[in-house]
Amino acid sequence: MRSKILLMTSLCLIAATVAHAGVEQMAGYVDFAKFGLGVNQEPTVEVNLTGPMLKLAALASDDSDEDLGKMLSGLAGIYVRTYKVDDVSPAGFDKAISSISQHLQQTGWETIVKVRERDERAHIAIKMDGENIVGMTVLAMDENDNDIGDEVVFVNIVGLIDLARIGRMGKHFDIDIDALDSLDRNAVKKDTSKSR
Amino acid sequence: MNKSRMGIVLAVTVLCLFSSGCYRAVRLEKMGYEILDACPDARFKKDVSISIGGMSWGLLKNVAMSVEKDDHEIQTYVGNLSKIEVVVYEASGIYKDDMRPIGEIVKESLGDDWQLMVKTAEDDELVWIHYREDNQSIREMNIVVYDNDEFVIVRLAGNLDEIMEVALEEHGNFTDRIVHSAR
């Protein structure tokens, strides 16, 4: 009896480990920690939504916004890291953004938005699998005019992604990045022009 | 009252006290002291420590559910919880630089089967929300909040899927809601 219980427990533990390892093995996953993020500075916001939390978000959205619910149910993970950029750290974040951008380019990600202005830096890339978008990475650094200070945001969305709804999802999850909204609008424009 | 009846009443009272499930939240206190001891400038004093489960929670649950019969939200929250533990410290002198050691202590104290869902450090408020799932369902949540004069740890257990679903349906943005409800 005891050996059966031990066997069942081991199987459950292995199944749980495999389920979590699953997202990290997917093509759309990017491990930001590999690029030196968080070594010298803790994120001010860290969000990790996987498994049951995403399932719940999809269920909750289903009633109010069926499309969004459908999109969320296709996702496997949403990871957000926000850092405050102080006087010491901009160079470090700049380096991290460059390393991640370079890694994405080398591993078959397509850049869809790249902004490099005096007070803003953004890079949005998607990972395709055939016709489907299976991953999205948003790297954004923004200079604020107020006292709050500059912020740098790293977002990785893993799973089946619908570009036309990504901005709406960003709002839903409080991911406040201008480039995501413009992506949303551009995708809708593309859809409209296609239908004409 | 004769001696035998008195004995029965005493035995029942003692039994009720010990099986009521209303105790100090000892494990959360331990986590709290470990965290606060790790913050070099922290000054703190324990204010509240309570763990409600078992019979006490069953009683409270029935009262709350009969009083708030028409409130679906309360019915869901109360009906699906099986245990609540809370520990509150009056505390000060905890800073953003303490985030890393605090995060490490919370993680170590909870164990490998807990996952970090949200961590924020904004406007002098620090929040960590961890959850433990079982068979794709959320079974426990651990919330740690410091807001300049109070340090709070809350542990919820039960069928938290339904609670989270109602919370998400009833209240706007997701992470914002989680963080604010934690506060």
Show residues of chain A in contact with B176, CB under 8 Å: 174
Residue B38 in 3-state DSSP? helix
Question: pTM for the full model?
Answer: 0.74
CA atoms within 13 A on the CB side of A41: 21
Q: What is the DSSP string of B59-101?
A: HHHHHHHHHTTT-HHHHHHHHHEEEEEEEEEEEE---GGGHHH
Interface of A with B in 21-80 (CB under 8 A): 42-53, 55-57, 59-61, 63-64, 80
Tens-place pLDDT, residues B100-124: 889 999 999 999 999 999 999 877 7
Instruction: State the pLDDT at residue A171.
Output: 64
- Exposure string of B118-143, with b = 16+ CB inside 10 Å and e = fewer, is bbbbeeeebbbbbbbbeeeebbbbbb
Residue with tokens 């902004």: A115
CATH code at B26?
A: 3.30.2030
Domain membership of residue A7 (yes or no) is no
Domain membership of residue A18 (yes or no) is no
Q: Which residues span the domain enclosing B168?
A: 20-182
Domain membership of residue B135 (yes or no) is yes
Domain membership of residue B8 (yes or no) is no
Domain membership of residue A161 (yes or no) is yes
Domain membership of residue B87 (yes or no) is yes
Q: Are strands A150-161 and A132-142 parallel, antiparallel or unpaired?
A: antiparallel
CA triple A72-A78-A81, angle to 5 deg: 150
Count of domains for chain B: 1
Task: Please state, in angstroms and rounded to a whole number, the distance separating the CA atoms of residues A172 and A194.
Answer: 27
- The percentage of residues in chain A with a pLDDT greater than 70, rounded to a whole number, is 64
Q: What is the DSSP string of chain A?
A: -HHHHHHHHHHHHHHHHHHHHHHHHSTT---GGGGTTTSSS--SEEEEEEHHHHHHHHHHHHHH-HHHHHHHHTEEEEEEEEEEE-SSSHHHHHHHHHHHHHHHHHTT-EEEEEEEETTEEEEEEEEEETTEEEEEEEEEEE--SSTT-EEEEEEEEEEEE-GGGHHHHHHHTT---HHHHHHHHHHHHHHHHHH-
Domain membership of residue B31 (yes or no) is yes
Contact status of A111 with chain B (Cβ, < 8 Å)? no
Residue from B95, B102, B119 to probe the interface with A (highest A Cβ count within 10 Å): B119
Mean pLDDT of B10-32: 70
Mean pLDDT of A51-79: 79
Q: Find out whether A75 and A160 touch, Cβ atoms under 8 Å.
A: yes
Show residues of chain A in contact with B115, CB under 8 Å: 20, 48, 50
pLDDT at A172 over 90: no
Domain membership of residue B11 (yes or no) is no
Among B117, B169, B176, whose Cβ lies nearest the Cβ of A53? B117
A150: Cα separation from own chain's centroid: 20
Contact status of A171 with chain B (Cβ, < 8 Å)? yes
Instruction: State the pLDDT at residue A159.
Output: 93
Show residues of chain B in contact with A45, CB under 8 Å: 118-122, 175
Residue B148 in 3-state DSSP? coil
What are the distances in angstroms from CA B170 to CA B61, B159, B166?
21, 18, 6
Instruction: State the pLDDT at residue B65.
Output: 77
Task: Please state, in angstroms and rounded to a whole number, the distance separating the CA atoms of residues A121 and A139.
Answer: 8
Helix (DSSP H) and strand (DSSP E) numbers for chain B: 7, 7
Query: Is A60–B116 a contact, with Cβ atoms under 8 angstroms apart?
Result: no
Q: Find out whether A43 and B155 touch, Cβ atoms under 8 Å.
A: no
Q: Which residues span the domain enclosing A187?
A: 27-195
Domain membership of residue B9 (yes or no) is no
Around Cβ B51, how many Cβ atoms within 10 Å? 22
Reported confidence tier of residue B6, pLDDT bands at 50, 70, 90: low
- Exposure string of A84-119, with b = 16+ CB inside 10 Å and e = fewer, is bbeeebeebbeebbeebbebbeeeebeebbeeeeee
Q: Find out whether B40 and B14 touch, Cβ atoms under 8 Å.
A: no
pLDDT at A180 over 70: no
Residue B172 in 3-state DSSP? coil
Helix (H) or strand (E) holding B7: helix B3-19
pLDDT greater at residue A133 or residue B66 = A133
Domain membership of residue A21 (yes or no) is no
Reported confidence tier of residue B142, pLDDT bands at 50, 70, 90: very high
Domain membership of residue B6 (yes or no) is no
Domain membership of residue B15 (yes or no) is no
Task: Please state, in angstroms and rounded to a whole number, the distance separating the CA atoms of residues A186 and A124.
Answer: 14
Query: Is B173–A50 a contact, with Cβ atoms under 8 angstroms apart?
Result: no
pLDDT greater at residue B64 or residue B137 = B137
pLDDT at A186 over 50: yes
Residue B25 in 3-state DSSP? coil
Task: Please state, in angstroms and rounded to a whole number, the distance separating the CA atoms of residues A176 and A147.
Answer: 18
